[in-house]
Every structure is written in structure tokens, then in C-alpha cells.
Structure 1
Amino acid sequence: MTEQRVIANKPKIGAQSSAAPAKPSDAEAPRTRRSMKMVVILAVLALLGAAAGYWFLMGPGAGAEERVVQEAPEAGVVQQLEPISLNLAGGRYLLIGMGLQLTAEVEEEVDPSIALDRTIALFSGRTIEEVSSADGRAALKAELAAVLAEDYHGEVMGVFFTTFVTQ
């Protein structure tokens, strides 16, 4: 058995090749299309994986499993405060009495001086129109409840007006 080898001449550097590049046959064309589809699908999957990684590691979804839905505290007793008179704008007056809705965790009554001070600061100097309208009164009540919840460190969860007389 003899082995036969064919040695071809290599073109010199810079010389032009006389042979035309081989064209893919018709049988190879579907393979090329399939491989391109596969590359596109893999690129899309990689992009989706990167987006999901960003979402859960650094974006808005980061720490979602650590978030705890806080339940509203259980309502306790309502602590009544003595009504006080406040000066409104234009020489008018407001007689206001309140009840503080305490949480069930509070075992003793809270110091009323903080609530009275915040009420005086919030309502004094307001016009009669601001405190008399239903919308104005509701807005002031919501603002007072938010301030008191913060001042009492969550021991007060709501405010009720027991007396509200303007003159």
C-alpha cells in the first residue's frame, strides 16, 4: 500500500487568488438559518436573564422576600381629652375636644399635653372657613392623626373629635 500526497502551491503574500470562494450548497443554507435562529434565541434568553437578575438583585424587586406586610395595630381604648378653646383668625374661636384611639399594646393612658400642644399649633390662626368645611376638617384631622402617631411612637392610631364648636 502506497500513500499518495498532493502538495499544492501556496500563494505568495499579497498575491491575489485566482480561485473563487466556494458558495454554500443549498443543503447548507437551512442549517445556517437554524443556527442564526438559535443564536437569536440564546441572545434573547441571556438578555431576559440579565434583566431578571437586575430586578431581583439591584432593582425594585430586591429584597421583596424580606418585606413584611405590616398589619394594622389592634385598637385599644379611647382616651378622652378635656375640650380646649383656640383662637382662630378674625377674632373667632374654636372649642375642640378629642379622643385619642390608643393601640391595644398601651397599658396606661398617654400624656395628653403632647396632643393638646399639637392641636393648638395646628388649628390656631386658621380661618373659620378652613375649620368649618367638611373637607378642611377632614384634612386637619388626618394631619393631626399623622403627627400624633409619630409623636407618640405608634401608641396613638387615630383621633376623634368629640367636641367641635366654632364661634
Structure 2
Amino acid sequence: MSATATAPAPVAAAPEPKGKSKKLLIMIVVGVLVLGGAGYWFFLRPSGDTAAAKVPVPGKVADLEPLTLNLADGRFLKVGLSLQLSADASAGHGADEFNGAKARDAAIQIFGQRTYAQLLAPKGREAARKALDTEVKHRYEGEVLKVYLTEFVMQ
């Protein structure tokens, strides 16, 4: 044995495994996402009061003059329309001053594409009425809540 003993070599710091740095990065990203979602939930989301305020309140009913139009098969239809206005539209126009030209045009387009036989069947008449209701609501953008057929005579 020799009198000189060699001292053990200093141990270099072992590098961190790559898996630990990826886990740390994933935890940081998840934390940021959770904090962002919580911030949106508490500060930016719409409150429940605005949803309740969007429910339209019915106003006056505007009666339109009866309309006579040609059906697709050459027969005639006389239809009367009444429009349930929203309270906002009633306040702005009044039922007497309401311009029903868009509703009358929609009725001509929708009923004019149908035949006597199609409108004679209750399901066909109801489908046409629903299509008219949808189109009129779209054209008046929230001013009209519902369309009523007050007269429906075919010849």
C-alpha cells in the first residue's frame, strides 16, 4: 500500500432529468390557464341580469289589410295578417303607424310558392305559417314577436 492515497474526485452536479423540466413547464401552463379561466369567470362573463333583460315584452298588435295573391297553381288566396309587436316597437311606431310592407312581401313570397293542395292540408298550411312567422321576425329584427293569420280564404 502506498502512503499516498488519492482523494476521491469531486462529484459534478448531476444535470436534472429532462422529464422534470417538462413537468414543470406543463404545471406552469395549466396554472396560467386556470387563472385565466377564473379571471374570465369573475370579471368578463355576462351576468344573469342581461339574459333576463333580453326577453322581449309583447306590445300592441298591428292589423294589416287583407292581401289577395296568386298561388303557384293559378288559384287565389286571401290572407289577413296581424303582427304582435314588441313593446319597444309599439312605443316607437304604434300599431296604427307600423309599416307592414315587409310582412306583406314575405306573405306573397311564401304563400305564392305553394299550391292550393299544399295549403289545403293542415300540415302544409301550418308549415307555411311557420315559414312566414320566421321570415317576418327576421325582416323586422326583434320588432315583431309573432305573426297571426286572421283570414285565410282560398279559391
Q: How many residues end up aligned between the 2 structures? A: 132
Q: CA deviation at 1:88?
A: 1.1
The unaligned stretches of length 5 or more in structure 1 are 11-41
| Length-normalised TM-score, structure 1 | 0.59
> Match of 1:83?
66
- Percent identity, please: 31
Q: CA deviation at 1:8?
A: 4.6
SS of 2:130 mapped into structure 1:
helix
> Match of 1:138?
126
What pairs up with 1:8-157 in 2 under 5 angstroms?
8=7, 65-66=45-46, 68-69=50-51, 71-105=54-88, 106-107=90-91, 108-109=94-95, 110-157=98-145
Pick one of 125, 142, 147 that aligns with 1:159: 147
Distance 1:66 1:115, change over 3 A: same
Q: CA deviation at 1:159?
A: 0.2
Q: Which has the higher contact order (CA 8 A, sep 6+)?
A: 2
The unaligned stretches of length 5 or more in structure 2 are 10-23
4+ residue segments displaced more than 4 Å: 42-57
> Match of 2:19?
none
Instruction: Return the structure number with greater helix share.
Output: 2
- Distance in 2, matches of 1:6 and 1:127, equals 111
Q: CA deviation at 1:152?
A: 2.1
Q: Deviations over 1:43-98 (max 9, x none)?
A: 997786577579789xxx9x982374264211111111121111112222211101
- Distance in 1, matches of 2:37 and 2:111, equals 46
Q: CA deviation at 1:99?
A: 0.6
